[in-house]
Amino acid sequence: MQVRILGAHANQSRETRPISILIDDVLCIDAGSISTALTFDEQHRVRAILLTHQHFDHIQGVPLFAITTAASGVTGVYSIEPVLDALRSHLVNGVIYPTFTERLSFGGPSLEFHTLDPFTETDVLGYRVLAVPVRHGVPAVGYQVTSPAGASLFYTGDTLGGLADAWPHVAPDLLVIEVTFPNSWRGSAKHLAPADLEQELLAYRQIKGSLPDVLVIHMVPWLEDEIRREVDEVARRLGIEIGVAFEDMVIDL
Ligand SMILES: [Zn+2]
Ligand SMILES: [Zn+2]
């Protein structure tokens, strides 16, 4: 399973993009940079999108992707019902953009929506997809994706913590976990800081006995130096390596 980080940050600029994680060129988790990080040919190869929650930095790529791929068939958009509701009500709603569920002058339909039930494994393009609820102030899930060969990742999506509730349900080779702020901002918004990361990883190790590979994602770009220093301290204390995601990073699992 090839994991390609299209966007690794909480905000965008010429150097940074919001979250999208592309698996084997075909399955994309979150749509923050699904159009801005991929060539048109690469966008045509994507056949399914999993959305963790409705915040704009995670869904913004959907409409332009849908226009690009209108001529190349339908892409499945998967999430829990409240996320799909928000997307269809506020973004691809026939006002801001077309709904993309019917034929348009330039092709289509290009999107098809699929509701996922939490804790129920679903087959998406041959991958086993498990949506696990996480706390974030709006309905949100993390995803465990397992390839046909058995490689797996779990991406938390955005969360304010309490992942001890999620850990019993997942067992990934790679844990992709959000860390948005440095410790000085801890508790100021519904996200994790490195000190929270440490608590979440300790809980994981306590519940599961050991830790998988860990990759931190969703940093505020202009706070990243401070975040990286504090993540390094967490890694030292836990006696593990913790990676920090960057745009166009590729990991083979
Ligand atoms: Zn976000
Ligand atoms: Zn969010």
> Which ligand ends up closest to the CA of 160?
2
Whole-angstrom Cα distance, residue 56 to residue 235? 31
Distance 228 CA to ligand 2 centre (A): 21
Cβ atoms within 10 A of the Cβ of 13, count?
9
The 10s digit of each residue's pLDDT in 196-249 is 999 999 999 999 999 999 999 999 999 999 999 999 999 999 999 999 999 999
Which ligand has an atom closest to residue 141 CA?
Answer: 2
Closest ligand (CA of 19): 1
pTM greater than 0.75 (yes/no): yes
> For residue 188, what pLDDT band results from cuts at 50, 70 and 90?
confident
Average pLDDT of span 71-92: 97
Secondary structure percentages of the chain, helix, strand, coil, to 5: 30, 30, 45
Ligand 1 centroid distance, CA of 55 (Å): 6
User: What are the residue boundaries of the structural domains of the chain, listed by start?
Assistant: 2-252
Q: Which residues surround ligand 1, an ion (CB under 5 A)?
A: 57, 158
Average model confidence (pLDDT) across the chain: 97
Residue 21 has pLDDT above 90, yes or no: yes
Spatial contact of 156 and 180, defined as CB atoms under 8 Å apart: no
Full DSSP string of 67-116? HHTGGG--EEEEE-HHHHHHHHHHTSSSSSS--SSS-BTTB---EEEEEP
Which whole number is the average pLDDT over 36-58?
98
Ligand 1 centroid distance, CA of 30 (Å): 10
CA of 35 to the centre of ligand 1 (A): 17
Say how many Å lie between the CA of residue 182 and the centre of ligand 2. Answer: 17
145: CA distance to ligand 2 center in Å?
Answer: 20
What is the average per-residue pLDDT within 121-148? 98
CA distance 1 to 151: 6
CATH code given to domain 2-252: 3.60.15.10
Environment class of 102 (CB within 10 Å of its CB; exposed 0-12, middle 13-18, buried 19+): exposed
Structural contact between residues 129 and 123, judged by C-beta atoms closer than 8 angstroms: yes
Count of other CB atoms within 10 angstroms of residue 41: 8
Distance 201 CA to ligand 1 centre (A): 20
- What does DSSP assign to residue 193? -
CA of 247 to the centre of ligand 2 (A): 19
